[in-house]
Structure formats: C-alpha cells, structure tokens
Amino acid sequence: MIDVLLAFTIFTTREGLVGGTTANGHVIVERDWFAALPSRLGLGNTVKVCTDTRCVFLPVWDVGPWNTTDDYWNADRQMWTDLPQGLPEAQAAFQEGYNGGLDGFGRTVLNPAGMDLADGAFWDGLGLIDNAWVQMTVLPPSPAVVTTLLNVRSGPALSAPIVGGAGRAAQVPVECQVAGDVVNGIGLWDRIGENLYVSHAYVQVPSDWSAPVCPA
C-alpha cells in the first residue's frame, strides 16, 4: 500500500534518451516531463517531486533506474523486503554495500539513484543542473488530470511566481478551489499543495466532480 503521507528523500538522475520509448510506449521528446521509478508497479502513478524552492507533478511513464522490481515507496515492497520503506535498493547498494554493491541485474551500482526525471522536469521544472537529492511522494489516484504542460504558481494569478510545473497526464491532488485570474474563460484555480496553484482551465475532471472552496 502507498502511504501518501510519506515524502522520501531520493537521489534523482536525468533520464535524457530523447527519441527512445518509455515503458508505457511514449516516445521521449526534447525537454519532456515524466518520471521513472524502478518497478513496473509505479507505472500510471503520479509523483510529486520537490526541491527546497520548487515542486513538479509528474506521471510515471518509465521503469528505472537500476532496478525493475524495487517498489521501495510501498510498505510491502515486492523485493528486498529487509530494506526499510523509502530506501531504494540501489541507494543501499551504493552507500552500504547491500547485495554486494550490485543491482538486481548483477551490475555494480555507480550512484544511489531511486528515480529518473525527464529533461524538462529536471531542468525547467526543478531548475536542477546536476543529479540531486529531492523529496518524492507517490500520490494517490486523483480524478483531476492535467491536459497539457502547466505552470504551478504560488498564487491564483498569472502574475504569481512560477514555483514548478505539472506534466501532461499528471493526476493532481486538488485540495480546494479559489477564484483567480481568468484563463481561457475560466476563473477558477486549483490548490494542489501549500502555495501551489494551477489554472483549472487545463485540468480535466469528471462532470460530477466538485471541490470545496479554499478558506479565505
């Protein structure tokens, strides 16, 4: 089971591989926005990934790095069950010599990465210039789905600072809605975290869906 309250400190690397195909069949484009986790159980989920100053919301479309059966974010992980929740096997192998310092394929682990990020999310969304430690949370399913690459702002206005982004097909955790700048004829904004807002004009929801009004 995913514990949605837990944010794990994970070393992330940049995937690159433009022109390649992800595990879900997506052809990688320049400055793409998605994440890869080292288990197929991660496919179809959305992750929230944050630095000290920025956050991105990304669909999980690929499997890696290092392993393909290491769902370390789950309490009942499918392999390496002696490791604590939130500790990738690759990190344990690199830092502690776990499994003889090898990944699940017998390769020597050369970095502690437990997640890959596509170039756009890495460079543009989080502002990273090198592989880094970040805070990662696997989010629960949400009916609110982002329809295009979308800026995340610190308030419900186009003048509010950009503090991250959401990739197309990311399922965002709408806490409440607030009136704000009109975008494509829609003046509602979704709060998807503390000081994190997206225009509802680019969020698709079921016809019977509703959200509470954000407190003043």
- Digit-coded pLDDT (tens) for 76-121: 999 999 999 999 999 999 999 999 999 999 999 999 999 999 999 9
193 and 96 fall within a common domain: no
For 146-170, the pLDDT digits (tens) are 999 999 999 999 999 999 999 999 9
Whether residue 118 sits in one domain with residue 158: no
In a domain? residue 34? yes
Last residue of a domain, one of 118, 139, 160: 139
Boundary residue ending a domain (92, 111, 139): 139
**Any domain includes 216:** no
Asked whether the beta carbons of 153 and 163 are under 8 A apart, the reply is: yes
- Calculate the average pLDDT of the chain: 96
Identify the pLDDT of residue 6. 87
Q: Domain span at residue 113?
A: 8-139
Whole-model pTM: value is 0.96
* Number of domains observed in the structure of the chain: 2
Q: Collapsing DSSP states into helix, strand and coil, what is residue 117?
A: strand
154 and 134, same structural domain? no
Quick check: is 85 in a domain? yes
| Same domain, residue pair 23 and 54 | yes
- Distance set, CA 4 to CA 47, 53, 144 (Å): 10, 21, 17
Q: For residues 76 and 173, state if they share a domain.
A: no
pLDDT at 2 over 50: no
For 207, list phi and psi in degrees, rounded to 5. Answer: -65, -30
Q: Is 210 within a domain?
A: no
3-state DSSP percent of the chain in helix, strand and coil, to 5: 10, 35, 50
With respect to residue 209, please indicate whether it lies within any of the assigned structural domains. Answer: no
Please check the confidence at residue 1 and state whether its pLDDT lies above 50: no
> Are residue 60 and residue 165 in the same domain, yes or no?
no
pLDDT at residue 3 tops 60: no
User: Is 214 contained in some domain?
Assistant: no
Tens-place pLDDT, residues 28-40:
999 999 999 999 9
